[in-house]
Structure 1
């Protein structure tokens, strides 16, 4: 998972602002759309204090001065400034006379100066934030009381507000175009790279959110991240009705990532079915908050998740050097903390809504601005997967392999992956020996990259720009935002070394880091660094992750493994599509019930999870009324991130299909990654020759069956 950075360049907009919603039959300027929306949103700050007559006079004056050829730029620029100008900003006309630049050398020089400056702004703010979160992100021992407070502070929260107040933000709006999503989609294919970069520059200033509001959002998300990072279950202390311990001593799994991955690994275990059913019960209790609070990250109590009974663990069962926790058999449930964290993020996000007339909800900002894909289109892609007639056919194949009816845990069936029949204990032994520390993985990156098809020279260059850390949580990739800084690869490394789960995550995060290096160092305009949205960096990371066993010397590709790869991609995309729908539905519910309590939100999420499960999953997997789809931790710590995963699977599959015909992987990966953060379909056409679609995966799945 690539952590969505909270710093100015990407926090504001990974894509150009979708200003307005003009239809083809009713052309509307971005500024006019903003003005209408501001009136509807009742933004607290006064805006557009200059009369229409005064603006028209100013535009005529500037046209007379700079020539008729500049009229369109002048009219658009003045409207863009007027939309966000406040009375306290001073004399708009005097500002425009001084700062409007006609096309030519001075405009070019200003563009170049701003591009270089914002790389430094973004990069250094990103580094400051990384330092503030250092101890909450990394496994460096118990936290000091001050650490969560430092992690919640966003040093960049004042930047955009200050740039408006100091006027550089208005210089950008006066001289460079804000664009609508419709404009980028329709006209973007004919744009020059400079035009794309100008649009991206202007998008930074499409709204004027007070710094205090931005800070509240950052604090809520940081609090949620820390809550999730420390949400562990000590598996040896799960007991069944007979008091049996199914899991080995010392196994500590974070929710949901490690719980899910352990469930996948248990298909090769003789006791696997019993283990899986127990993990499902744990997951469902986390979603419904019926999990006893005392069992969370506590190796000093035993818990039967089926009866929900808690007992004090016998001294002999407690792990050596286990953290100090209360050894108290208290069955009291977690007090809806999970949903209190989510509500806090929602309430903080709502405070930004009145200042974001172009996208007046977090939902709209997530889809129209951050993804550059309308929510309706994303929902249609997810529904196309969920309702595919291929689902029961693939399910029947899985059922024949397992020799039993499918159950809810088979949502995560991994048996199509090469090497999936290798017991995880064997894989753990291999990875722990090879990677006793995070540094050991870092030293092996050049070999891994060459194994993926990168030249030795390219592998050495990439390795020199990536740093590896042991993560407190499940793992993530953190980008660098200026050349000279280093992307960070974080994965969990337990005391006995990196187990297979940690290794699998590390290979995924390495994919993010390689994309981050290419898209920063080799892109032609740093304003375009990155990819269109998080789904694309997830897709590129999936390309790496799919080869993790091959990099260990297992799972060599052949015709059969190619067929299995297709089926695996389909099943994974089908699984996460429903999870994404739960995430989306949850945010709609919160906007419909803005005064909800954590308990009410808990009931809503459980209900939405059951409804989507019953509609799409129960006919295939059974388990009517299961709330299992609500388990994903992203829903709490990374607002509306989950739709990026099914999109990422679709994009990754299109990339894989392209790589089968055009190689090697290293050169093609680089060519794709350096294209930058344009619209999703424009990026995909450059990468694979076709826009984002589910069709390639569905066609290949049908052929594989």
Structure 2
């Protein structure tokens, strides 16, 4: 950025004033400030003379003051944003037109720029080191906690993105979120080629989460294969945007997803109290809305590119700044699983259990878990009786947490710091960012209570929330609040989710169930690894075609999904040319997030191997989560004794197959 100061002269002056011992700090700090200083910021030399801190005691006090202030700023901005999104995030009744406008407003969009203009951001850059990912990967294992806190302080000021750019990104994200949150399919109104209704009345499933989970739940159903094939066809039509617009969240029309025929539903089949929707029978497809939303996310991200020279694309920011893992390393980990010779061996075992050749729906095979052997109705009865409301789940948190291995006192502490809400969408966890605030657990609770899908999601989100409490309240520096990246919080959430049936009193771990767990983890990692590669490949295509239209983007997503399927999945599951891998809603509402799931599975498996040896889930979960936002390999080595790797999962899968 522009500035008028003569930097060598300024540095020499400061060295003369403060001594040679300060030279390295002075030269580094002045360069860090000058890189982001603008003419309108004023006199750079005067600022540097006044705010360089040579005294160690004052430096400590300044770090502490900034840490306290930023916790409050971040925390309260997070609370404001959460409240603005309440109507779109929670099941509070019909949305008003103003709700989407409030959800799109990000009150924190201007905060970083304000801190630059008011100069605290420059104070941080002048006095504390700004590091690169390469430096953190090399030197991080030897950092003190204080050094990590300094690094996280300056890291937040490594880029200077204008508030209007951040706001554009928030707006695009909120629009995509709302689109996904309202993308429901009324399953009773799907007709097969004989005109039969395969699904019960009132079943309203959000794409993709509930559609996938409904598919997974049908392995114990005598008509399960027919239902699964129908869900696959629905998914394919969503990806290709050949789904008729009239059937989206509409219980007043019937639809055959195989022929794409739409007709008015008989009055006797329309659910009681079904929302009013227009009955449109023209069969016109959804007009590429899915890809309009994704393009808006891309264009918003590109606006940020010029202000991020160290990571000049959204892809680079996702890996280098967000995950702190290079893209090449993440891809190598995913492809190590995708191309493993263990895949056809696990597939053969699944075939022997199903008694048929595998099909595309078996991407989500659920038979390696006890839930795959229980009917959906049995599971729904259990959870609906126990959790008729979100409040009932909240009241049961102390028992659930003690069942997971936390002491009575720790379970009470955690329960008191988590709030449970009924979600409009599939469910999510929303962190708190200051001590005194509370993380939110959101999951779907239907009129009859929380079904098993909602419960399974709730246990997963509880894992996020418990991590969020520990990584905020138990860290020694709130500048380190959090975990290395989203894959780690997913991994910690998987640890909880894997025990959902135990918490219902339906399963007890033994040698056989351990074998099932390993094979299930392998198959789930294999499934989502390809989805993640599609997500990243789509963004590479977008950067190569920045002026693409929604229809061109649709064609690219379909093609990339098909090519990825044909390379990794068709040899095992058939279905040559299916675009099924493009179904995940994260691609639209949380772009470039999907790689965190397979990484999360690998990380979770390493954690589980450690937990088996340690023997105390509650205490070890707290110890691991309380490390804070270190780089991935440092965090993982501290937690389990080894850096992030696919080898533990592959070794355990090999051993399970041998048994």
**C-alpha contact 2:342 2:653 (8 A) present in aligned 1:** yes
Of 648, 653, 659, the residue aligned with 2:611 is 659
Residue 528 (structure 1) aligns with: 480
Partner of 2:215: 263
Q: Is the 1:418–1:556 contact (alpha carbons within 8 Å) kept by the matching residues of 2?
A: no
Matched, 1:114 2:69: no
Match of 1:551 among 489, 503, 507: 503
The 3-state SS of whatever aligns with 1:177 is: coil
> Offset of 1:104 from its aligned partner?
1.1
From 100, 103, 122, the equivalent of 1:148 is 100
Q: Is the 8 A contact 1:50 1:82 kept in 2?
A: no
- Structure 2 regions of 5+ residues with no counterpart? none
- The equivalent residue for 1:563 is 515
The residue that corresponds to 1:125 in the other structure is 77
Cα distance in 2 between the residues matched to 1:140 and 1:458: 32
**Aligned match of 1:483:** 435
Q: How does 1:165-564 map to 2 (within 5 A)?
A: 165-564=117-516
Q: Distance in 2 between matches of 1:106 and 1:273?
A: 69
Aligned equivalent of 1:50: 4
**SS at structure 2 position matched to 1:363:** helix
TM-score (norm 2): 0.99
- Quick one: distance in 2 between partners of 1:277 and 1:227? 25
Please state whether the residue corresponding to 2:433 is helix, strand or coil: coil
Deviation at 1:154, TM superposition (A): 0.4
1:419/1:555 contact within 8 Å kept? no
Gaps of 5+ in 1: 1-46
Is the Cα contact below 8 Å between 2:531 and 2:581 reproduced in 1?
A: yes
Greater length-normalized contact order (CA 8 Å, ≥ 6 residues apart): 1
Counterpart of 1:420 in 2: which secondary structure?
helix
Check conservation: 1:436, 1:498, Cα contact below 8 A: yes
How far apart, CA to CA, are the structure 2 residues paired with 1:356 and 1:586? 21
- In the alignment, which residue of structure 1 is the partner of 2:552? 600
Please say if 1:576 is aligned against 2:528.
Answer: yes
- Distance in 2 between residues matched to 1:129 and 1:611, nearest whole Å: 39
Q: Following superposition, which runs of at least 4 residues in structure 1 exceed 4 angstroms of deviation?
A: none
For 1:579 and 1:98, the matched residues in 2 are separated by 52
Alpha-carbon separation, structure 1, partners of 2:296 and 2:210: 25
Given the two structures, how large is their TM-score scaled by the length of structure 1? Answer: 0.93
Alignment partner, residue 572 of structure 2:
620
Provide the rounded CA distance (Å) in 1 between the counterparts of 2:308 and 2:134. 18
Q: After superposition, what is the alpha-carbon deviation per residue over 1:83-115, rounded to whole angstroms, capped at 9, x for unaligned?
A: 011111111111000000014111111100000
Give me the whole-angstrom Cα distance separating, in 2, the residues matched to 1:277 and 1:517: 41
Aligned residues: 657
- Higher mean displacement: 157-166 or 642-651: 157-166
1:65 is displaced (CA, Å) by 1.1
What is the CA distance between 1:166 and its match in structure 2? Answer: 1.2
Contact kept? 1:207, 1:356, Cα under 8 Å:
yes
RMSD: 0.6
Give the distance between the partners of 1:107 and 1:58, measured in 2 at CA: 21
**Alpha-carbon offset, residue 328 of structure 1:** 2.3
Q: Do 2:3 and 2:44's aligned partners in 1 also have CA atoms closer than 8 Å?
A: no
